[in-house]
Structure 1
Amino acid sequence: MLAVLLLAGIVTAPLSSLLIFLPSRRTGAAGATAALRRVLLTAAFAGLVYAVLTLLGFRPAQVVGAVLAYLVASAVWFPFTARWTARAHVAWASSVFLFVSYLLFVTSWTLGSGLGAWGTAAGLLLCFFELIAGLLGAAYLWELCDALGSQVWRRRVPVDRSVQLARQSRARTASSLPFVSLHVPAHNEPPEMVIDTLRRMTRIDYPRFEVIAIDDNTGDEALWRPVEAWCARNDVKFFHLAGWPGYKSGALNYAFGELIDPAAEIIGVVDSDYRIDAGFLRRCVPLFDDPSIGFIQAPQDYRDWHTVPYLRRLYYSYRYFFAVSQPSRNERDGAIFAGTMGLIRREALRAVGGWDEWCITEDAELSLRLLRAGWSGLHVDASMGRGVMPLTFEALKSQRYRWCFGGIQVLRMHFRSLLPGPRTAHNRLSLGQRWAYLSGALQWYGDLLGLIFYVFLLCGAVNLALGGDQLFRRLSAFLVAAVPVLIVLGLLRAVALLRRETGATWRDAVGAFFIWQSTALVVARASVQGLFARRAEFLRTPKTGERESLGQALRANWAETLLAALGLAGIVMSLTRWDTSSGPLLAGLLVVPTLGLAAAPYYSRAAQRAMLPPELAARRRSEWQRDRRAVLAGTTAGLTLAAAGVAVALLVTVLTAPSTGLVSPPDLRPAPADSRAPTHKNPPSPVPSPSPSPAPSSETPAVSASPTPSESPSPKPSSAPPASSPSVSPTVTNTPRN
């Protein structure tokens, strides 16, 4: 029966996933009519399942069981998808149905396949990887369906609403508006950049606010003394901290406790490179009229990127979060505070104990504590400030390392709070808020998982080149297809959603996707270190590099270059077996991840060769000098070797599993009529066939190589991968039968 359910998922998931990308007219309302549409489309897909399974020759009882299971699995999600179009609901429900069916199918087979203790353990570990990848895919798919399928946004603050709030603010008396204290932390920043930020902040169109500049442990007086002098002339509070602990959060805590005006009700944080719009406070402060709001976050935006291809693609890779992820999280009151262009209620900050100094992503950690304490957060759509992106690729890697390490710190320290459970006085997080933060943290492990699967594929290429084909006979279809599934999923996010939500061209959207791929190794490193290291070096993201050569770009990204070279070698080795189906398949699976790793030195070189205005060129020079030591230090090689060791150990376990006494997986095809009604004339033989062909292991073969003349073809049906990506159509591959 599990095989029939799996086929039902294979029928519905790909088609429903394609439908969600077709243009649609959103009604702007979610009510009885929208619910009826979801019911009718679900029924239509259930009818499709019935028709296909009937045509394939399955028994009526199996067909009806599969249809009922599909209907129930779809109905379970009705309360959670009330805002979505019918197509988004069916795409989500069908993909989850396929994944659950597959996981049950392959786990049941693994436990009953007779592999022995070690083989079963290896099979279950592979099932665990499948589960993790499926959860990551579900998190991505939810955002995709939310972005493409939402008919109404209940908590969203669109741009026109922000403009309306600004008009209402101007109609109020100055004394009725809350006093705002804006904090600008800086560390080793060029003084002209900091002064430019402060000058623009003093021109904000709001009657009651102050600006506080906090220099955090800058050792060179030539950097902070000009800022101090400018602040003294322009009535801006300034304080230089020397030997002060806690990095950025420590500086913010000092300003909160020692420098803030007693009348302040709201605190804002603005990075020292931002050019803030004059209407920022007018547009956002009125939202605090709702006493439940603890913080508000506007998008982080950037400047001077339009004419530089590298910066343009980097810009769109950043825009994904604020254009897709943050609005989706906001609907569940799960938005995060992003560290700049945000406002916090002073009472709320005091209630949760201020900024925690143990976490290097103190902003996201603070927002989680605020939500857990019962406050709400709001994301607003309007972009009201623009900063400077990392101008060297090495600075980008440093930033991604810090974001990932901090995210894992938050996950580790607050894991219990994010597990499903009832609200309590100490944890008022709703189920949706817990999912938003838990899935957001777990998504960092997608790069580590991709790295492990990449090493599996490299081992398979070696095995294939040496004359074997056991990897593809013994590993599951999901494991072999995991890398392209994750790649296609990422490509969907980069291309479909970026083009729709940000207006990126096809070329820039694909370039943004490879920006993500090029930092996969440093993210994988941080995701492992974050689990075990309580503290990490605070890798700041300076705003300023110097021109480098190709050799320097290769050295600065030596680990990615090495893995890309191994990937190229794997492609060549795979193509030496062009006469088999396994060779071209494996070569194709290696292409995109290999290009993603090769993109690291390419983007490093592109960033340094980019033609920038004089101001940004000067910042880039100091950015390279200051950031490269932090990026190149660490355990990238150790992490790579560890991932390779895990992959090779699993590979050896699978390839050395006993080839006798194994139980074949259930066939996904209906049994012939004579086998469904056996007679005593031809009873089934209990004696295994002495055929020397490799027996199936705990996992389904992804590719069945053509048997040699000495082999007797035997039935080895293949299961299908789960729908981690809504665009991947699982297939069923079988060898010829006698």
Structure 2
Amino acid sequence: MDQNSAMQRIDWSMQHFLNGAFPAPTKIDPLLCFGACLMLACAAVALATYVLKWKSAWSVYLAWSAAFCSSVFLTWELTGSPQNLLAVLAISLPMTLMVAWRMPQLTPFGKGLVAAKLTFAAFIAIWSYGLLRNTSWPFWVQDLLVLLVAPLITLSFFLVISERILLLSGLTLRRSRRAAAMRFLETGYEGEAPKVSIHVPAYAEPPDLLIRTLEALSRLDYENFEVLMIDNNTKDPNLWKPVEACCERLGSRFRFFHVDPICGAKAGALNFALRHTDANAELIAVVDADYIADEDFLKKWTPLFQRKRLGFVQTTHEYREWQDTRFLSKFYGMYVLPHKSLLSALSEFGAAVTVGTMCIIRRSALEEAGGWAEWCQTEDSELAVRLHALGYNGYYFSEASGRGLMPDTLDRIRRQQFRWAFGPVQYMRRHIALYLGLSRHGKLLPAQKFLFLRSGLEALPVFLGPLLAVPVLIATYQEIWLGADYRVSLDVFASLLAYFVSDFLEICISLKLIGHGRLIDTVFYYLANRSINFTRRTAFVCAILGLNWSWHRTDKFIPSHSFMRGFLASRTELLLALAFSGSAMFLSQYARFSSLNYTAFLVACLIINTLGFLSTVALAMLCELELWMKSWRDNKETREALPMQANPLSDTGKGDAGKEAA
């Protein structure tokens, strides 16, 4: 079908709306070229800073100066038209440097990274604006798109940049607040240590798991504490009776409560425990049912509460029993990197949060805040917002004081990740006036407002990602049905490739900083995140719309293998993979890979997304395969052991019988 005949079949206004939206580029765009060079330079500086461990700030500043100058020089050489580049750079670079300089928590490397990332974002935004203004769309359509899309894209840029700064906190932040706290801890307690009430909520947990947790608490190197074990809504007495007996055996400082019914899930159980806490207890510690606490958990961290306005201390999540399973080893990096790097970095900006286990909270502050929020999916981090609003501060330390269990199937991981993504959006809607400085019930600092808002909108870039495909879909429509001849500029590919190379290297360095930095670990980190992206998008939409969602605990019973469960856990991604691969096969007949038109670009994007969806299916089946192999090995060992015990005519038995006869 030629272009003239196709144009006669559509309305003139639609043709005017679509025509000329994607003019074929005639030369390399200097803005995109500079962005690609700058991202590669960022990767080089990050790698050099990590490997060489520069002590002098001037060495880092010199490296960043070389990165910017080399990016300008390469762009000049490749494009030959530096006028627009220098004009934009003269505007954007001073602004980004000013933003970076106003953040005293940043190291010289961190300031340079902020300046580079913001400059890259500014260049991409200006290039996108120029591309939009070069279309033949009506001006009112262009203005409407700018008004609707520009704020979301700008916010997404800030969210992505702040996440990278926080994940690379080992290189980007000075950690002066943490260093001061560690020096204070060395002094110990002056006088008698305060009484701590440890609350352990549980619902339908394996008894042996809870008994291990309670026995570990009984070995704490701390004199003045009590343990309140709250079993809520467990129907089967075979689950909670052994735990009750364990508390009686461990002594009077262990008190057991079986409460049925109780509302509010974990938050309801913790509020019940708060009401039954010993009157002399000044601090409240929370330990999850699966966590084995270190002996120095209380002794190490309670001296900080000599500071009267300290509201809480949180230690990082850490896990055990994951090293021997291929499935859990794929997800370990995804679980620990945000906790050990991102969340611990929030302390440096005064925006630390609690994460529900291995934390210590000042009792008076908890009661002043109104207790735990029974309406919230993540009652732990929501409490931190209210404590900060009341003027209390907190610490989040990257050191672990206990280790728990990771969810051991994809279905359990997705349920937990859904709750973790749903909760921050849920309490962001409740506290939005507080975030914007319009609330009469407390006040947050500017850094706290942005970082708490970042937590609530963390999934926004993931949610907006598919919207970037709309221009490509429009161009593909024109190429197939209108006969348009467009080509994707190579500098677009270069910018995308440079960004992903830089991002991959930064994640690799972040994992190395926490001792988990093999190249394959970075690949698994991406695959694990990709496998739950759809879950995060769903949670974000449900929470933004204000939908109610029941609280689901993470099941800790050892599962049996079920390939059907793996299929059901990944069925949505499997259907999406089939739809995307089918679309790619259909569009491939119109794609011109040699000249790289937009249809070919769309086919490539569809294939990449198909592989991402298939990674979810592969991980789900890997989990079930490992469970099946474990069950097969256990059954084999059982079968081999039974004849040895039951057969009296075994070789050993014959020998013994012969000896007795002799």
Q: Residue 43 of structure 2 contacts residue 506 of structure 2 at CA under 8 Å; is this kept in 1? A: no
Equivalent residue, structure 2, for 1:97: 119
* Structure 2 contact 39–498 (Cα < 8 Å) conserved: no
The corresponding residue for 1:414 is 431
2:369 aligned partner: 352
Distance in 2 (alpha carbons) for counterparts of 1:464 and 1:388: 53
1:581 to 596, 600, 621: 596
Residue 273 of structure 1: SS of its match in structure 2? coil
Query: Which residue in 1 is equivalent to 2:626?
Result: 610
Kept in 2: contact 1:157–1:381 (CA 8 A): no
- 1-structure distance, mates of 2:154, 2:41: 23
In structure 2, do the counterparts of structure 1 residues 17 and 404 end up closer, same or farther at CA, with 3 Å as the change threshold? same
Is 2:313–2:360's contact at 8 Å kept on the other side of the alignment? yes
- From 414, 425, 431, the counterpart of 2:446: 431
Matches within 5 A, 1:294-305: 294-305=311-322
Give matches, 1:432-451, under 5 Å: 432-451=447-466
The reply to whether residue 225 of structure 1 matches residue 225 of structure 2 is: no
Q: Deviations over 1:27-66 (max 9, x none)?
A: 66xxxx73x6676566556655765676655587x67644
Confirm whether residue 325 of structure 1 aligns to residue 342 of structure 2: yes
Contact 2:314 2:355 in 1 (8 A): yes
Distance 1:455 1:15, change over 3 A: same
For 1:470-489, what per-residue CA distance to the aligned partner results, in whole angstroms no more than 9, with x for missing partners? 696799998x9999899767
Contact 2:197 2:225 in 1 (8 A): yes
Q: Structure 1 residues 196, 494: closer, same or farther in 2, change over 3 A? A: same
1:251 corresponds to which letter in structure 2? A
Which runs of 5 or more residues in structure 2 are unaligned? 1-28, 635-662
Q: 2:40 & 2:316 partners in 1: Cα distance?
A: 34
Q: 1:119 to 1:481 in 2, by over 3 A?
A: farther
1:128-139 superposed matches below 5 A = 128-139=151-162
Equivalent residue, structure 1, for 2:333: 316
CA distance in 1, matches of 2:222, 2:246: 22
1:231-630 paired onto structure 2 within 5 Å = 231-234=247-250, 235=252, 236-257=254-275, 259-419=276-436, 426-453=441-468, 463=477, 491-492=504-505, 494-533=507-546, 535-544=548-557, 546-576=559-589, 577=591, 578-582=593-597, 585-610=601-626
Amino acid of the structure 1 residue aligned with 2:421: C
CA shift in 2, pair 1:597/1:291, >3 Å: same
**Separation of aligned partners in 2, 1:473 and 1:45:** 31
Going from structure 1 to structure 2, the CA distance change for 1:45 and 1:580 (only over 3 Å counts) comes to: closer
Aligned partners of 1:460 and 1:471 also within 8 Å: no
1:516 deviates by: 1.1
Alignment-derived partner of residue 20 in structure 1: 46
> Are 1:334 and 1:377, in contact at CA under 8 Å, matched by a contact in 2?
yes
What residue is the counterpart of 2:226 in the other structure?
210
Q: Distance in 1 between matches of 2:243 and 2:364?
A: 30
Residues 1:614 and 1:474: Cα distance change in structure 2 (over 3 Å): closer
3-state SS of paired residue (1:212):
strand
Letter in 2 for 1:522: T
Q: Which amino acid aligns with 2:244?
A: E
Structure 2 Cα separation of the partners of residues 380 and 431 of structure 1: 22
Q: Does structure 1 retain, via aligned residues, the 8 Å contact 2:163–2:342?
A: no
Q: What is residue 717 of structure 1 aligned with on the other side?
A: none
Residue deviations 1:74-114 (CA, integer Å, cap 9, x gap) = 43134345454544422321221231243244336636755
Pair 359,492 (structure 1): closer, same or farther in 2 beyond 3 Å: farther
Q: Is the 2:488–2:596 contact (alpha carbons within 8 Å) kept by the matching residues of 1?
A: no
RMSD: 3.7
Distance 1:316 1:304 in 2: 14
| Aligned residue number for residue 676 of structure 1 | none
Number of aligned positions between the proteins: 597
Structure-1 separation of matches of 2:496 and 2:38: 22
Q: Secondary structure at the match of 2:197?
A: strand
Given the superposition, is the C-alpha separation of residues 612 and 223 from structure 1 closer, same or farther in structure 2, using an over 3 Å criterion?
farther
Distance in 2 (alpha carbons) for counterparts of 1:281 and 1:614: 38
Question: Retained in 2: the 8 A contact 1:548–1:605?
Answer: no
> Are the equivalent residues in 2 in contact too, given 1:561–1:598 (CA < 8 A)?
yes
Distance 1:63 1:509, change over 3 A: closer
Distance apart, 1:529 and its partner CA: 0.6
Please name the residue that 1:708 is paired with: none
State the 1:594 CA deviation: 2.2
Match of 2:653 in 1: none
Structure with the largest fraction of helix: 2
Q: Could you tell me whether the CA contact under 8 Å between 1:42 and 1:71 is conserved in 2?
A: no
Cα offset, 1:242, TM superposition: 1.2
Cα distance in 2 between the residues matched to 1:491 and 1:27? 22
Residues 1:196 and 2:216 are matched in the alignment:
no
Aligned to 2:197: 181
Q: Which has the higher contact order (CA 8 A, sep 6+)?
A: 1
1:58-69 alignment runs, 5 A limit: 58=81, 65-66=87-88, 68-69=90-91
Matched with 2:171 is: 148
Please report the TM-score for the alignment, with normalisation by the length of structure 1. Answer: 0.72
- Relative to structure 1, the CA distance from residue 569 to residue 487 in structure 2 (aligned partners, 3 Å threshold; closer, same or farther) is farther
What is the DSSP-based 3-state SS (H/G/I as helix, E as strand, rest coil) of the residue aligned with 1:338? coil
Q: TM-score, normalised by structure 2?
A: 0.80
What SS is found at the alignment partner of 1:185?
A: strand
Written as runs of structure 1 = structure 2, the 5 A alignment for 1:33-72 is 34=57, 44=66, 47-48=69-70, 51=73, 58=81, 65-66=87-88, 68-72=90-94
Contact 2:563/2:624 (<8 A) preserved: no
SS in 2 for 1:155: helix
Q: Please give the alpha-carbon distance, in whole angstroms, between the structure 2 residues aligned to 1:4 and 1:37.
A: 29
Residues 1:468 and 1:484: Cα distance change in structure 2 (over 3 Å)? farther
Percent identical across equivalent pairs?
26
Indicate how the Cα distance of structure 1 residues 273 and 455 shifts in structure 2: closer, same or farther if over 3 A, else same: farther
Equivalent AA in structure 2 for residue 358 of structure 1: W
Q: Is the 8 A contact 1:267 1:343 kept in 2?
A: yes
CA deviation after TM superposition for structure 1 residue 222, in Å: 1.9
8 Å contact 2:231–2:240 — kept in the other structure? yes
Q: What letter is aligned with 2:160?
A: G
Aligned-partner Cα distance in 2 for 1:318–1:54: 43
Q: How many angstroms apart in 2 are the aligned matches of 1:607 and 1:54?
A: 52
SS at match of 1:76: helix
Aligned to 1:73: 95
Q: 1:296 to 1:53 in 2, by over 3 A?
A: same
- SS of 1:401's partner is helix
Q: Distance in 2 between matches of 1:67 and 1:9?
A: 11
* Pairing 1:110–2:110 present: no
Equivalent pair of 1:157/1:379 in contact (CA under 8 Å): no
Task: Spell out, residue by residue over 1:279-322, the C-alpha distance to the aligned partner (whole angstroms, 9 max, x if none).
Answer: 11111111112222110011111111111111112222111112
Kept in 1, the 8 Å contact 2:459–2:536? The answer is yes
CA contact (8 A) 2:291 2:405 kept: yes
Shift in Å, 1:168: 5.3
State the one-letter code of the partner of 1:515.
Answer: A
